[in-house]
Chain A
Amino acid sequence: MHASQTPLSCAAPGQTPAISLSGVVKRFGSLVAVDGLELDVPTGTCFGLLGPNGAGKSTTMRLLTGQAIADAGAIRVLGFELPRESKLARARMGVCPQESNLDIDLSVRQVLEVFARLYRVPTDRRAAAVAAALDLAGLGARAADRAAKLSGGMQRRLLIARALIHDPELVLLDEPTVGLDPQVRQELWSLVLALRERGATVLMSTHYIEEAERLADRVAIMSAGRVVAQGAPAQLIRKHAGREVLDVTGSPAELELLRVQALAAGLPTRASGPALTYLHADDADGALPLAGRRRAANLEDVFVALTGEYVE
């Protein structure tokens, strides 16, 4: 079980990556939000940027749209150099922010019409683009309603529709399903998968491991402003957690003892709330405790092992 998941649609070897960040640093006062970031997003993939809050994901997104200027490093988006040529890149890019920034006094349709204009959608194609976007977001029935009257989930859908009004080749999604209930989350996941089918490149930041696992062709795990691991989910799991892991439960004192013993014996472990998980269990037979539950390794194991953070 080590072959990469789905074949990358249009990415030919040697093709310029859709996004390329090299040695990027961004400081806010004394806080270093992005600390020597190295990241390449291949064209045509759905790329997940996975990291806990504060890892620098949103800052990275802002650097890509030219809304933040890096203190050091090189950034290229769709072949354009940022921030100098950011306007050219933005014309072919759609952005869905984490927090709603809709002009809530406008109707749903007006929001889309305004952005169709801002994105220079040709006049004769505008009406069709707005209709298609309404359709994609499932908001056709609410087109005349003021944006303020939409529920959180619908506003998020409108934000995404707004980002896609000009049929961009690159889509940035900043935590697209945060704060939404499971039903809406599923719908948005379908939308993202549909985007990938269309051949767009999607860069999606998230702190939900399941989301990254499900949607992304490739994942970069980000922590404290840097990428700590990068690759297809299956490869990352294989490399950092093995095929199987062993969960051992016990009292905090017992677990602590086991952890120290494992450390001394050179066995990799990670904390799992009320349990201790032994990684690479398939390679360590005989040295492991007999009591415990074996299960397949997953991305969460990788994530916690590499970042030390325990998130949902």
Chain B
Amino acid sequence: MFKYFWQTRTFASVVEPLIMLLAFGFGFGKLVSEVAGIPYLQFVGTGIVATSVLFSAVFSGMFDALYKRRYQRVYDAMLAAPVDVDEIVTGEVLFLGVRAGLYGIVPLAVACCFGLKPEPAMALVPAIGILTGIGFAALGMLFAALVTTFDGLSYVISAVITPLYLVAGTFFPLTRLPQWLRVAAQFNPLYHCVELVRHCAFGLQPGVDALHIGALALFALIAWRLAIWRTSKRLID
């Protein structure tokens, strides 16, 4: 199943996360030299790892899945073969998750070129990216199963995705935000991803990090089951 998706997709460009990194880094970098004790470019660079994972995973999950389901009925075709909905969703989510996780390496590499000191713990970043990517790909597919048109997905983007990536510690540390927002951020999977990537770059904190990983794993599990449930309702009459 995984191989099927691998065969049918091509890797989209990696340019977008790069542009974001450079723009933010250099732009804000001039205004703000250091944030939370870290040069801004490096702060943002580690944050953008998470956002590029988020965008790749969730957008693919939403748009590709909706397109395939409704307009091409490709999933329908597969269901005539001895393949079940949970296999389709799992295969799709794994593929998108891995791909998104691998995209996350690019901003990190770029940040290293611009002064971020490479650390051995950074080898964990792809794995963190993949775990996060799986969760968000499943979330994307869940939304794809809940809406019926591409317009519906626009609402999802404004109402859900945008707040998620703004309140995660990506562009500015959460310490500046009111208490209730900081608490809300704990429920944002992206926040956990950002924290983990930052710790990989600047120093791991085993106890806290284990909790972050746990949160991401829980998110992935719940999103995955929900995605299967709702997609099944759409595909099987």
A residues 44-97 near B (Cβ < 8 Å) are 62, 65-69, 87-88, 90-91, 93, 95, 97
B63 to A: closest C-beta gap in Å: 14
A117 contacts B3, C-beta separation under 8 Å: yes
B82 contacts A118, C-beta separation under 8 Å: yes
Stretch at the interface among A100-108, A244-252, A293-301: A100-108
* Residues on A with beta carbons closer than 8 Å to the beta carbon of B78: 118
B190 to A: closest C-beta gap in Å: 30
* Residues on A with beta carbons closer than 8 Å to the beta carbon of B237: 26, 28, 62, 67-69
Known A-B contacts A97-B76, A104-B72; the reply to A69 vs B82 at CB < 8 A is no
Q: Judge if A114 is at the interface, Cβ distance under 8 Å.
A: yes
B72 contacts A103, C-beta separation under 8 Å: yes
Give 9 CB contacts A-B under 8 Å: A67-B80, A68-B236, A68-B237, A90-B80, A102-B77, A103-B68, A118-B81, A119-B82, A163-B80
B21 to A: closest C-beta gap in Å: 30
Q: Judge if B127 is at the interface, Cβ distance under 8 Å.
A: no
B74 contacts A101, C-beta separation under 8 Å: yes
A82 to B: closest C-beta gap in Å: 12
Interface size for B (C-beta < 8 A) is 20
Q: Judge if A239 is at the interface, Cβ distance under 8 Å.
A: no
B82 contacts A67, C-beta separation under 8 Å: no
Q: Judge if B121 is at the interface, Cβ distance under 8 Å.
A: no
Interface string of B1-41 (1 = CB under 8 A from A): 00110011000000000000000000000000000000000
* Residues on B with beta carbons closer than 8 Å to the beta carbon of A99: 73
Closest to A111 in B: B77
Interface size for A (C-beta < 8 A) is 32
Between B3, B73, B79, B80, the greatest number of chain A beta carbons within 10 A of the residue's beta carbon is seen for B80
A24 to B: closest C-beta gap in Å: 13
Q: Judge if B235 is at the interface, Cβ distance under 8 Å.
A: yes
Closest to B73 in A: A101
Between A110, A114, A117, A120, the greatest number of chain B beta carbons within 10 A of the residue's beta carbon is seen for A114
- In the complex, what distance in Å separates the CA atom of A117 from the CA atom of B91? 14
B73 contacts A87, C-beta separation under 8 Å: no
* Residues on B with beta carbons closer than 8 Å to the beta carbon of A102: 72, 74, 77
Contact partner, A91, options B4, B73, B79, B82, Cβ 8 Å:
B82
* Residues on B with beta carbons closer than 8 Å to the beta carbon of A90: 80-82
Q: Judge if A189 is at the interface, Cβ distance under 8 Å.
A: no
* Residues on A with beta carbons closer than 8 Å to the beta carbon of B8: 103, 105-106, 110, 114
* Residues on A with beta carbons closer than 8 Å to the beta carbon of B119: none
Q: Judge if A115 is at the interface, Cβ distance under 8 Å.
A: yes
A155 to B: closest C-beta gap in Å: 12
New A-B contacts (10) at CB < 8 Å, excluding given A87-B82, A99-B73: A26-B237, A67-B76, A67-B235, A97-B77, A101-B73, A103-B68, A103-B77, A118-B81, A119-B82, A163-B80
Closest 9 CB pairs of A and B: A68-B237, A101-B73, A95-B80, A101-B77, A118-B81, A91-B82, A90-B82, A87-B82, A103-B74
A87 contacts B84, C-beta separation under 8 Å: yes
A37 to B: closest C-beta gap in Å: 15
